[in-house]
Amino acid sequence: GVEVVAGSKPAPPAAAPLPTASNWNPSLLSIGALPTCSALESDNKERVANAAQWNFTHITAMLDVSTSPALTKELFLRAGEEWQNNLVLNLGYLKYTEIALSLSSNAGTRGDCQGTIPVIRFIPGTTFAGQVTLAVTLKKKGKYNVGIRAIDTNGYYSMYGSIWNVVD
């Protein structure tokens, strides 16, 4: 645990070691199914029906690579604190010790003035394989370039980039 002394802040968690150019591999990550929207209030029948209707009336992704491989990275998700967007990630045949989500521009820059890169890390200390579901609630509409960085069990890094169009 972290002990907080009056007037002080706990130290931030240690950052993952930065990869070198030789540690990067092409990404095997992909979207494994169309993203879906669900109501966070699962006992509210009106919200549940609204989410089901939204899924029915919105095409959330084009996963057919024969149309255009580039379009498979363009996703449409629902904005609002009452909705959960569910993205199924196909991790390929590798196992991963870390998966982290951030805006792509954070990976290409120093991040904030302290040189840190803000990320959301999936359950540290877990090994991920096969398919995992990323559940996100998005407050604001907009277009976001998102990067999902993964570190496999051999210490190699890869990044899956996608564009999230967050709409009503």
* pLDDT grade for 111, boundaries at 50, 70 and 90: low
Question: Tell me, what's the pLDDT at 94?
Answer: 92
Question: Tell me, what's the pLDDT at 2?
Answer: 39
What is the pLDDT averaged over residues 42-51?
96
Please tell me the pTM assigned to this model.
0.78
What is the pLDDT averaged over residues 84-111?
84
More confident position, 121 or 154: 154
More confident position, 3 or 106: 106
Q: Residue 54: pLDDT above 50?
A: yes
Give the start-end residues of each E strand in the chain: 30-31, 36-39, 74-78, 83-90, 96-103, 120-121, 131-136, 142-152, 157-167
Question: Tell me, what's the pLDDT at 29?
Answer: 87
Residue 100, beta-bridge partner list: 121, 149
Q: Residue 83: pLDDT above 50?
A: yes
Q: Residue 5: pLDDT above 50?
A: no
Q: Residue 117: pLDDT above 80?
A: no
Tokens representing 136 are 């996100």
**C-alpha closest to that of 156 among 8, 54, 25:** 25
